[in-house]
Every structure is written in C-alpha cells, then in structure tokens.
Amino acid sequence: MKGKLSADIDLASEKFVDEFDKSGEPYILHCLAVMDNVKKWNDSELEIAAVLHDIVEDTSVTIYDLRCVHGFSKRVCDIISDVTFPKCSTDEYLARILNIVCKNQGSIKVKMADLEHNSLILRLKGITDKDMERIKKYHKAYYILKAHLEK
C-alpha cells in the first residue's frame, strides 16, 4: 500500500500545484497534515481519503473521476464525498456535519483531522473577525463529530 499512497500524494500534489492556503503556504502541506493526523488509526484508506479530502471541493476532479478513472475504493470515495462541502451558512455546515459526516466513522475521522489542522490559529498571518467566526464554526463541528466517534 505504500506505493499506492505515494501515487495518491502525487495526484494531490499535481492538482494543488501553485495553490496556497490562507497563510501563503503550499496547499499540499495542508493535505499532508490532515493525512498525518489520521495515521493514529492505522488505516491506509483513511490516509488516502485524508490526503485527497479537498480534491473534489477545490479542483475539477469529481467523485466519478476518483472511482472510475483513478480506481479508488468505494469507501475512499464515500469519505471524500462526505467531507466535500459546498459554500453554505454556518447552520447548513453544522447540519451537514450532523446529517452526513456523522453517519460514517471514516468520514468523522478525516473531517476531525481536517478541522484540527484548519483550527491552528498560528497558521494565519493575521486574525480577522471572519477568521474567528470560522474557527468558532470549526470548534462546534469538531465537538459534534467527537461525540459521534466510536472509541
């Protein structure tokens, strides 16, 4: 599986080339951090879903592409689909967390890992009111997910 994960990291790197996060860092570093955050569960499919978690949301790649062109498992594609969020209000975001993400333990783990990294306030160059609102939303979502995580 190690070679497969390497190829999956390459796919994410290719799709996020020349993309940067809010702190100005290469976006792929966020994907790798989320992947690193799920390693504690010792599940290679979670690592794959984690490194690719934003690929459908932020690139032209679709779930169909992942499943039919790249050959990812149904489980990996389901997790990525679950954690792919359209632009929406905080209430809609939290409802999606509760009604979709919380139904799948793998999705919970990947989304929690994503929220952990996105909530690191020291990654930001400056903090705006909008940043604080987003972090509050992430905090609420994280604790909803944590309550649904099977130990």
Q: Which two tokens stand for residue 29?
A: 């570093």
Q: What percent of the chain has pLDDT over 70?
A: 97
Total domains in the fold of the chain: 1
The residue assigned the tokens 């967390």 is 97
Q: With contact defined as beta carbons under 8 Å apart, do 148 and 118 qualify? A: no
Q: 43 is in which domain, residue-wise?
A: 2-148
pLDDT digits 0-9 by tens, 87-100: 999 999 999 999 99
Q: Is residue 137 helix, strand or coil?
A: helix
pLDDT interval class at 110 (50, 70, 90) = very high
| CATH number, domain with residue 138 | 1.10.3210.10
Q: With contact defined as beta carbons under 8 Å apart, do 38 and 47 qualify? A: yes
Three-point CA angle 21, 16, 50, nearest 5°: 80
- Under DSSP, the state recorded for 144 is H
Half-sphere exposure of 149 (CA within 13 A, CB side): 16
Runs of H (alpha helix) within 83-122: 90-99, 105-118
pLDDT interval class at 58 (50, 70, 90) = very high
Residue 108 has a CB neighbour count (10 Å cut-off) of 23
Q: Which residue has the higher pLDDT, 71 or 22?
A: 71
The residue assigned the tokens 């799948």 is 104
Q: What is the pTM of this model?
A: 0.94
